[in-house]
Amino acid sequence: MILSVSRRTDIPNYYSEWFYNRIKEGYLYVRNPMNAHQISKIILSPEVVDCIVFWTKNPEPMFSRLDELDAYKYYFQFTLTGFGNDIECNVPHKKEHMIPVFQKLAGKIGKEKVIWRYDPIIFTDKYTPEYHLRAFQQIAGELKGFTSKCVISFVDIYTKNKKNMNAMNSYSLPEEELAVFAAQIASMAKDNDIRVASCAEAIDLSACGIEHNCCIDRELIEQIIGYKIRADKDKNQRKECGCVESVEIGTYNTCKNGCAYCYANYSRESVLQNSRLYDVNSPLLCGNISEDDKITERAVKVLKESQLSLWDK
């Protein structure tokens, strides 16, 4: 089983104590977002968890207890963009705080296990292509030697973020201009020994030096765990997404980063309401169990197949 922690909320930043407690207890509960009274019990034994994929804008709260994950294999998707607090309102200052945090994490666990995400890319009157190129170049220079890969994507419009996107007058580049922009990104990254890949993009940017990416990445996971895995494409993601199947443990409407482009929160009020229910000792993240809830242990499987040989590396 591959554990996704989490596409729905920033667990490393805001709920790391809960997660460590669940690791210690050996299980957690996840409420089905499509069926409010259906709860899955997920076993967290190292024997069944092949790899953990963390998604975060700030993993610093996890640092003091990373040794509690020694029995597990894992890597981080670390989002670090050029946006200010007008778009990522609760993310600490990038140059003064977040870049050093990124460097520290890479120093602790290795640069191959820290994937830099410069996404989503949003074009506005303020955040122009030229702005993004300057920001990307500055960040890439600071991260040279601290990561091997950068993932980019261009903002997708959902019902939950459409109002915010309209308010900032976001716009898309024509495909020809987008290709020029992408090629410049790839060139800057290459100058800093970083390769660039795209996330769930229909457009083919391979001619620009940008490969299609899988965030829950079979190849990377196999390298980290030292085994081949048997895993299908995640059917719950968009068709452009190449991620393999994983078990998502997050809860919508609980992320306190406050990003204007977020698709996982309905509103600031819903986040505040749900976060008040946070209990570090509860098996359920930001919620209570009622008499009408049905708890079922989810059947999970080990994905390891055969140990990698020298020829596989």
What DSSP string describes 150-218?
EEEEEPPP-TTTHHHHHHTT-B---HHHHHHHHHHHHHHHHHTT-EEEEES-SS--GGGTEEEE-SS-H
Tell how strand 27-31 and strand 294-297 pair up: unpaired
The amino acid that residue 190 corresponds to is K
The owner of tokens 């204007």 is 260
pLDDT (average), residues 55-81: 98
Reported as a single tens digit per residue, the pLDDT across 301-312 is 899 987 876 456
Decide: 129 and 177 in contact? Cβ < 8 Å: yes
What gap in Å lies between CA 214 and CA 201, rounded to an integer?
A: 11
What gap in Å lies between CA 210 and CA 206, rounded to an integer?
A: 5
What gap in Å lies between CA 286 and CA 282, rounded to an integer?
A: 8
Q: What is the DSSP letter of 31?
A: E
Decide: 81 and 119 in contact? Cβ < 8 Å: yes
Phi-psi region of 145 (alpha: psi -120 to 50; beta: other; left: phi over 0): left
Percent pLDDT > 70 in the chain is 95
User: What sign does the CA torsion over 94, 96, 102, 105 have?
Assistant: negative
Better-predicted residue by pLDDT, 120 or 203: 120
Confidence at residue 160, expressed as pLDDT on a 0 to 100 scale: 65
**Biggest alpha carbon distance in the chain?**
58
Confidence at residue 80, expressed as pLDDT on a 0 to 100 scale: 98
Reported as a single tens digit per residue, the pLDDT across 235-267 is 777 666 778 899 999 999 999 999 999 888 888
- What's the structural domain count of the chain? 1
Closest to 248 in 3D by CA, of 304, 298, 303, 305: 298
Confidence at residue 47, expressed as pLDDT on a 0 to 100 scale: 96
Decide: 1 and 247 in contact? Cβ < 8 Å: yes
Q: In which domain, by residue range, is 187 found?
A: 2-312
Reported as a single tens digit per residue, the pLDDT across 165-216 is 788 888 999 999 999 999 999 999 999 999 999 886 777 888 888 988 888 9
Confidence at residue 33, expressed as pLDDT on a 0 to 100 scale: 92
User: What sign does the CA torsion over 285, 286, 289, 292 have?
Assistant: negative
Neighbours of 89 (CB within 10 A): 14
User: Is residue 154 predicted with pLDDT exceeding 70?
Assistant: yes
Decide: 28 and 78 in contact? Cβ < 8 Å: no
| 28 — pLDDT class (breaks 50, 70, 90) | very high
| 43 — pLDDT class (breaks 50, 70, 90) | very high
Q: Which two tokens stand for residue 235?
A: 């059917």
Confidence at residue 211, expressed as pLDDT on a 0 to 100 scale: 85
